[in-house]
């Protein structure tokens, strides 16, 4: 069953869920967790978490802006062709580049909200420490994979920058500017995976499962 | 790169060179590749094995220059315009006024290869296909003035001409041309003066513009490290085979063009000769050189010395 | 390495990552990294992988995805689509299986307004099932139509899955979208006939009830004010692509702009609606497109290693009717569909299937539509059809998964019948795009 897809595609459902008793319980459980653990490790974790969460929100706002710019750019392209009779040709390319930005800048925030689709066929039947262990493996391996992707996208971007590569298309975009979101996005994905891993490790002993499964919701 | 382990290599070792092509091997522009493969494997007595890893489905055409540069593959049959943002000078291979024989005599490609090595760590072994370029349209034109406002698919190769004609240039890989044309996203496209039937668009085509212009820029790139790791005699075999295979494939081009023109006409397309065809050629050449000067980082006079009359 | 060993290795690794619960995008990244190092080499190979990821997103064919999703999100969050149910209800008299047909019709329209099957199913489930339960409808009459419409969402334009398939397989996105119109309507009609027949032959599954009379005045009013603008937007978007006046991307942008303007006219565009719509868009499109970027290197690796060619040669050398190969490929999708979600299936199978279908000289749009229908069926097949769980989460009474499984058999059967009809009569798919091209 598909947990991420479920959560993120149906926002209305989530909003219904936010009003349910289950969610209030979840919130209070989470509060207990954080108040019970005033250790240094926990404080540094939540400090780091707050900084990264803030950064993710900034990137999310940029990503949202990109979507609207995409819309405007393409509509402007049609308008200038059909109405002004003076076609502009950069709009399609521009929209494509904006899409790359929006995807990679939104990715860490989506991860934080468990929005990347996964098949939790096996995760769904695991419980307690086994589940936690499995999550740790997934977060650790994903962090490594994201980091490797980050490293090579950084390398490609820097190399393009240092060689001064400029596109020969309609508008001379410097290529590194187009490649940049890949490195930025995967850097913060790596950090978020590490934070998720740390959270699992810090709460490893508690049997309380602070991650919620797909909520059982009563219709309004 | 390859199986070479030590610099300079040994006589016994077998070198496996991984080659990608910017178009499928079924495309006539790639006819030189199998010839190259045969020559190299035969002359090296099997010490070099040429492995074709695939066309754009294995590595996107626009990425093949980078892929040779970073050593993912050893060689590529690729158009200069597909990687020219890395080496804008490479585009001169489109705008040359010389024949390949003259270029070889002048050492033009050695000069161009040095620039390639400096910017992206690849050697340029020379041209890979004989030919010129054409514009294929769905809108009728009679003179150079009728191109104004048309949306035409073209890479950097064609940008100076198309802009000079007042057309809008939309860049896309070969594989996207069919659907873009079908849906009216483009009014036409610029392409080699043959092998247009290999990308399957003949059924959509209404006109091919006469005259042809400029020079096909399909080139052979090899990773510099791969090359220097080959023993000297093998380096020579590879370099010579590159040139030899060009002239071998060139012999067949006239026939390919003739057959294809028949097929295009059978599909109901027309050849339209421009009223001001001299002006058209003039724009294709002069605009291109002016445009090139604004894009390169080296001395235009040097390029002119090697590629103009 | 033999091609089948390579393909097995690819497949086993991917399954390992996906089934153990890795977020699919990161499973793909991990597998791609491993395979790239193995087959191409560490440094250069991974640089090429990163560039392929960039290239695959930057290509012009995918830009409609976020825009179509934005269109759907705005129309949903502003509540405009819910009015369609109201209009349909006013116009529908005392039909047998009235509410089932109403749900089916509304679901088909919803599909045409958004690319998200999940959102459609959840919306219909929470709005329609309480009424149906109250009227004593059998579960297969209430849940069935919702799931049936859910299966249609992958083919009725705009469908993000179709755009994705077009981009991945080098198939014209416009043709895939236009090609889905007639099969979509065909399946919807077949399902409506099915539910009506059920109601006629066994009225106890859908008890007939008295409907409040609506005056013609009211009927017309609701049609003109609540349905026509939305229907107009659907028709406009499809027509723009069909006529070739605009590219799929441009149609999507115009559709999204229209979707933003309509709620303004109705006074329903609040900051909250806008915020929820854009967040929904970012989440869904970001999730889909990240998987796409992550798997870009995958299809190239399959080609690079020669595995794709090996498979093509093997299929060509099979001594069977080419159609049998096509049916075999579709069966694999159906089987994968019982436990994996559609996008991953698409990413895994497209690079293998397209070269084969091309070599067998079948029409790619026709094959693409068959794939899309099978993916849609996968969404509702037990045991792990995504929509089955969505439905269970939103319907009022506590129903066991088993009962839901039973209720979906009918629509699965009809969808499969649709697949067979389209295999026999490819024109159902290919005719409309061929008319539009001129
Ligand atoms: Na749809
Ligand atoms: Na399924």
Segment A113-145, tens digit of pLDDT: 988 888 777 887 888 889 999 999 999 999 999
B neighbours by CB contacts (3+ pairs under 8 Å): A, C
Least confident of B179-188, C223-232, C414-423: B179-188
Q: What is the pLDDT of residue A29?
A: 52
* Beta-carbon contacts of residue C306 (< 8 Å; ≥ 6 apart): B53, B54, C3, C6
Domain ranges of chain A: 36-202
B171: nearest CB among A85, A169, A175 = A169
Q: Which residues pair with B78 in a beta bridge?
A: B219
Q: Which residues pair with B188 in a beta bridge?
A: B137, B152
| CA dihedral (A6, A7, A9, A11) positive or negative | positive
Comparing CA positions, the residue from B147, B137, B140, B130 lying closest to residue B280 is: B147
Residue from C44, C66, C259, C275 whose CB has the most chain A CBs within 10 Å, to mutate:
C66
The ipTM estimated for the assembled molecules is 0.89
Q: Pull the structure tokens for residue B82.
A: 């597909």
- Answer yes or no: are the C-beta atoms of C277 and A11 closer than 8 Å: no
C42: closest chain B residue by CA: B72
Average pLDDT over residues B134-144: 94
* Beta-carbon contacts of residue B102 (< 8 Å; ≥ 6 apart): none
- pLDDT by residue (tens digit) across B60-92? 999 999 999 999 999 999 999 999 999 999 999
- Closest-CA distance of chain B to residue C176, Å: 11
Least confident of B90-104, C31-45, C121-135: C121-135
B87: closest chain A residue by CA: A165
Q: What is the pLDDT of residue A34?
A: 52
**Residue C43: which pLDDT band, with cuts at 50, 70 and 90?**
very high
This prediction has a pTM of 0.88
Classify residue C390 by its DSSP letter: H
Comparing CA positions, the residue from B136, B132, B162 lying closest to residue B149 is: B162
Say whether B170 sits in a helix, a strand or coil: strand
- Residues of A with Cβ-Cβ distance to B88 under 8 angstroms: 168
Average pLDDT over residues A51-80: 96
Average pLDDT over residues B252-275: 93
Residue B297, chain C, CB below 8 Å: the answer is no
Q: What is the pLDDT of residue A38?
A: 62
Taking an 8 Å cut-off on Cβ atoms, the answer to whether A219 and C129 are in contact is yes
Other CB atoms within a 10 A radius of the CB of residue C340 amount to 23
- Closest-CA distance of chain C to residue A34, Å: 27
Please determine, for residue B288, whether its predicted confidence score (pLDDT) is greater than 90.
yes
| Torsion angle defined by CA atoms of residues C180, C169, C8 and C412, in that order, rounded to the nearest 10 degrees | 0
- pLDDT by residue (tens digit) across B15-47? 999 999 999 998 999 999 999 999 999 999 999
Please determine, for residue A17, whether its predicted confidence score (pLDDT) is greater than 70.
no
The Cα–Cα gap between C288 and C118 comes to 14
- pLDDT by residue (tens digit) across C73-106? 898 889 888 888 888 888 887 888 888 999 999 8
C21: nearest CB among A77, A123, A219 = A123
Name the strand (E) or helix (H) holding C39: helix C24-39
Please determine, for residue B4, whether its predicted confidence score (pLDDT) is greater than 50.
no
Average pLDDT over residues C258-262: 94
């Amino acid at each position: 069953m598909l947990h991420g897809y479920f959560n993120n595609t149906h926002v209305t459902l989530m909003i219904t869920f936010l009003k349910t008793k289950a969610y209030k319980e979840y919130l209070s459980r989470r509060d207990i967790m954080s108040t019970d653990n005033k250790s240094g490790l926990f404080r540094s974790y939540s400090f780091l978490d707050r900084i990264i969460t803030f950064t993710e929100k900034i990137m999310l706002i940029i990503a949202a802006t990109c979507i609207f710019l995409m819309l405007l750019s393409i509509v402007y392209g049609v308008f200038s062709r059909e109405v002004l009779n003076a076609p502009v040709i950069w709009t399609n390319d521009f929209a494509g580049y904006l899409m790359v930005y929006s995807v990679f800048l939104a990715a860490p925030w989506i991860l934080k909200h468990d929005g990347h689709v996964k098949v939790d066929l096996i995760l769904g039947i695991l419980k307690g420490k086994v589940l936690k262990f499995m999550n740790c493996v997934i977060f650790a391996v994903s962090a490594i994979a994201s980091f490797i992707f980050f490293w090579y996208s950084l390398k490609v971007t820097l190399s393009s920058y240092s060689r001064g590569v400029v596109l020969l298309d309609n508008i001379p975009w410097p290529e590194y500017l187009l490649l940049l979101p890949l490195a930025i996005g995967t850097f913060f994905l790596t950090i978020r995976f590490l934070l998720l891993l740390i959270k699992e490790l810090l709460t490893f002993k508690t049997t309380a499962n602070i991650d919620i499964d797909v909520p059982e919701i009563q219709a309004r | 790169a390859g199986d070479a382990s030590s610099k300079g290599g040994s006589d016994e070792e077998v070198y496996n060179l991984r080659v990608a092509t910017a178009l499928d091997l079924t495309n006539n522009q790639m006819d030189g590749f199998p010839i190259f493969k045969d020559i190299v494997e035969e002359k090296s007595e099997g010490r070099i094995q040429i492995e074709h890893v695939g066309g754009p489905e294995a590595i996107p055409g626009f990425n093949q220059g980078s892929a040779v540069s970073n050593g993912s593959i050893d060689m590529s049959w690729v158009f200069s315009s597909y990687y020219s943002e890395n080496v804008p000078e490479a585009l001169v291979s489109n705008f040359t006024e010389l024949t390949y024989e003259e270029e070889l005599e002048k050492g033009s490609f050695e000069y161009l290869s040095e620039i390639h090595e400096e910017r992206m760590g690849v050697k340029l072994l020379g041209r890979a296909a004989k030919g010129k370029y054409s514009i294929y349209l769905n809108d009728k034109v009679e003179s150079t003035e009728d191109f104004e406002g048309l949306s035409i698919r073209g890479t950097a190769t064609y940008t100076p001409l198309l802009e000079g004609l007042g057309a809008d240039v939309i860049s896309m890989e070969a594989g996207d041309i069919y659907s873009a044309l079908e849906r009216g996203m483009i009014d036409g496209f610029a392409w080699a003066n043959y092998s247009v039937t290999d990308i399957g668009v003949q059924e959509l085509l209404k006109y091919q513009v006469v005259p042809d212009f400029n020079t096909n820029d399909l080139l052979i790139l090899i990773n510099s490290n791969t090359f220097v790791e080959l023993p000297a005699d093998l380096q020579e075999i590879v370099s010579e085979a590159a040139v030899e295979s060009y002239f071998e494939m060139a012999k067949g081009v006239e026939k390919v063009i003739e057959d294809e023109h028949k097929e295009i006409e059978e599909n109901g397309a027309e050849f339209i000769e421009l009223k001001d065809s001299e002006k058209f050629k003039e724009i294709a050449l002069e605009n291109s050189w002016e445009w090139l000067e604004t894009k390169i980082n080296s001395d235009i006079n040097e390029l002119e010395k090697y590629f103009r009359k | 390495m033999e091609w089948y060993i390579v393909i097995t290795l690819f497949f086993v690794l991917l399954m390992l990552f996906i089934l153990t619960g890795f977020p699919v995008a990161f499973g793909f990244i991990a597998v791609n990294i491993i395979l790239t190092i193995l087959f191409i080499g560490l440094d250069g190979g991974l640089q090429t992988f990163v560039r392929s990821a960039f290239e695959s997103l930057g290509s012009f064919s995918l830009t409609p995805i976020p825009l179509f999703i934005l269109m759907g999100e705005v129309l949903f969050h502003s509540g405009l689509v819910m009015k369609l149910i109201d209009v349909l209800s006013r116009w529908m008299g005392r039909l047998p299986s009235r509410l089932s047909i109403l749900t089916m019709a509304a679901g088909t329209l919803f599909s045409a307004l958004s690319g998200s099957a999940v959102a459609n199913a959840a919306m219909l489930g929470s709005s329609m099932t309480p009424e149906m339960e109250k009227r004593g409808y059998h579960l297969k009459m209430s849940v069935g139509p919702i799931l049936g419409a859910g299966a249609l969402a992958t083919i009725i334009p705009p469908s993000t899955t179709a755009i994705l398939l077009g981009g991945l397989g080098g198939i014209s996105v416009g043709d895939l979208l236009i090609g889905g119109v007639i099969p979509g309507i065909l399946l919807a009609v077949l399902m409506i006939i099915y539910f009506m027949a059920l109601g006629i032959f066994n009225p106890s599954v859908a008890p007939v009830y008295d409907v409040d009379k609506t005056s013609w005045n009211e009927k017309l009013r609701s049609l003109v004010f609540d349905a026509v603008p939305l229907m107009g937007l659907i028709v406009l978007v499809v027509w723009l692509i069909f006529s070739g006046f605009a590219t799929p991307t441009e149609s999507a942008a115009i559709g999204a702009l229209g979707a933003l303007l309509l709620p303004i006219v109705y006074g329903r565009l609040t900051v909250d609606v806008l915020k929820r719509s854009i967040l929904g868009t970012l989440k869904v499109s970001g999730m889909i497109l990240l998987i796409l970027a992550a798997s870009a290197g995958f299809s190239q690796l399959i080609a690079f290693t020669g595995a794709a060619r090996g498979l093509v040669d093997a299929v060509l050398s099979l001594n069977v009717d080419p159609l049998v190969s096509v049916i075999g490929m579709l069966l694999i999708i159906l089987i994968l569909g019982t436990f994996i979600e559609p996008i991953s299936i698409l990413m895994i199978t497209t690079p293998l299937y397209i070269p084969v279908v091309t070599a067998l000289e079948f029409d790619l749009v026709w094959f693409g539509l068959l794939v899309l229908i099978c993916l849609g069926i996968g969404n509702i097949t037990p045991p792990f059809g995504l929509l089955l769980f969505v439905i269970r989460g939103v319907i009022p009474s506590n129903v066991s998964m088993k009962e839901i499984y039973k209720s979906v058999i009918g629509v699965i059967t009809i969808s499969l019948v649709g697949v067979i009809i389209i295999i026999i009569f490819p024109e159902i798919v290919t005719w409309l795009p061929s008319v539009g091209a001129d």
